Structure 1
């Protein structure tokens, strides 16, 4: 059963409008979550806002957002100040621009949401907008208030629906040149290149979500289960960690590639037999 929608509002393109809902495309509901306890009493520990000078707890009504202009120099922003810069309508996704679908760099993508019609009345308008974007190979750009924050968003046709991605702002994305400029742009040897390409070809498989399973999550669940049943977890054999480490960290690239290809060839012969 699908969870309740996170957001309800309208999708608008010029004079075409339809009611839609947004639901997060990802979930952390299955993640192992921890609480902080007092080890001596077993009681939960809660976080409180404490005045840095007086050391007293600050009531929620006395908490305010502030911008730091300098050391110990703050400007307090009231709710009306924040409301003044928000969108006029927090319930309408008004698509006012389109860009080619493959021109937005992945680093701008933040969080995905599924967009679907909220009722049968709006399905035709929703379908027309989705199909027109798909045929034109474009994505829509708009703005939306989510969680009290105005976000730039991208709308991408996806299967029978639309995926809305919140986008990071330009000042949140770092320039790659700062990091890649030190990498030498030398052309690799043809032989090395062909060997790596052969390894890639041998290891190319169809995508599966099993490739992104979380081994840490599974191990945590095992540990939790063992503690509940008072079972002691198995300890690794002595020397196991030492054996896992290569004797020599400096390995000739050509030699490593040859071994990779030879190993794969032997594996294929065993499977064929």
Structure 2
């Protein structure tokens, strides 16, 4: 990994030197567009709709258009803005973990301690764990000031950038205000269904089936080329299944779902999952953390 930012976590008189690394990566198979007839690469061109000429990247600027007025903004205009070039991750608040709504979370980054004696880093990590707190911080990445959270992830500190409050849409769907009556039996059966699916979450159990099958297809085409029989290589597993009718009785649907879940839970694989030995990513038995306090944020 390569650090994309170097600075310090700053709160009060405490200063924790750190480096920032992207915590995630895209696992999708990388592809590009080609001409089906001869396999030639398709190149994108930026063409001006006024003069019809291809425009070089260095000659492209941004513009704001509200329908009545157009304002062209050059590179000099952006450079004139008072961008914050502070190398500090400024802590604004420490808040309870459960006050962070997941809808606000964006990209995740790991923080590496860079001090020769990382005691301050370890102290901050332990304090956040012991107090069940998340830090609200401000950071400047690529000249843009972002709001983010600073939290504990295993043995490391990490930040996750946040959407601003005005970026979350207000919605008022008609269905959520319905006065439909939910019976006690329906609620009890629904709770049983939830319980029958209840487990400790282990992300390593689940695979991206689409990407796995795409890699299988690419390997098969490399091996057999255009002679590949797609129907034999990828048979339709659903073609022999009988279509299910519309669900009319909610209670009956819940009851059947509970029975099906209980009977198929042992010895069968879920779609998109692989068998494991029942251990979590930390190597501990999942039952050992069933009573542990859950932390969010």
Measured against the shorter chain, the TM-score band is: 0.7 to 0.9
Q: Given that residues 226 and 233 in structure 1 are in contact (C-alpha distance below 8 angstroms), is that contact kept between their aligned partners in structure 2?
A: no
Q: What are the within-5 Å matches in structure 2 for residues 122-201 of structure 1? A: 123-175=118-170, 177-179=171-173, 182-201=176-195
| Unaligned ranges ≥5, structure 1 | none
Q: Structure 1 stretch 124-133 or stretch 197-206: which is displaced more? A: 124-133
In the TM superposition, 1:183-222 aligns within 5 A as 183-222=177-216
**How big is the shift at 1:255?**
1.5
Q: How has the CA–CA distance of structure 1 residues 270 and 171 changed in structure 2, closer, same or farther, with 3 Å as cutoff?
A: closer
State yes or no: 1:27 paired with 2:21.
no
1:185–1:152 distance in 2 versus 1, CA, 3 Å: farther
Structure 2: how far apart are the matches of 1:140 and 1:56? 51
- Which moved further from structure 2: 258-267 or 107-116? 258-267
Distance (Å, rounded) in 2 between the aligned partners of 1:263 and 1:61 = 61
Structure 2: 5+ residue runs without aligned partners? 269-297
85 and 241 in structure 1: CA distance in 2 versus 1, 3 angstrom threshold: farther
> Is residue 86 of structure 1 aligned with residue 77 of structure 2?
no
- In the aligned structure 2, how far is the partner of 1:219 from the partner of 1:200? 30
User: Kindly tell me: are residues 181 and 118 of structure 1, through their superposed partners in 2, closer, same or farther at Cα, counting changes over 3 Å?
Assistant: farther
Distance 1:238 1:218 in 2: 16
How many residues are treated as equivalent by the alignment?
263
Aligned-residue RMSD, C-alpha: 2.7
Q: For 1:71-128, what per-residue CA distance to the aligned partner results, in whole angstroms no more than 9, with x for missing partners?
A: 4x32122334334242142x2212132222211211100111111202423x112222
| Matched residue SS, 1:56 | coil
State the 1:155 CA deviation: 0.6
Given the two structures, how large is their TM-score scaled by the length of structure 1?
Answer: 0.84
1:29-84: per-residue Cα shift (whole Å, max 9, x none)? x311210112233222222221121111112232112211324x321223343342
Measured after TM superposition, the shift of residue 210 of structure 1 is: 4.2
Question: Quick check: 2:21–2:110 contact (8 Å CA) kept in 1?
Answer: yes
Per the TM alignment, residue 265 of structure 1 is displaced from its structure 2 partner at its CA by 5.0
Distance 1:250 1:166, change over 3 A: same
1:264, distance to aligned residue in structure 2 (A): 4.4
1:251 corresponding residue in structure 2: 248
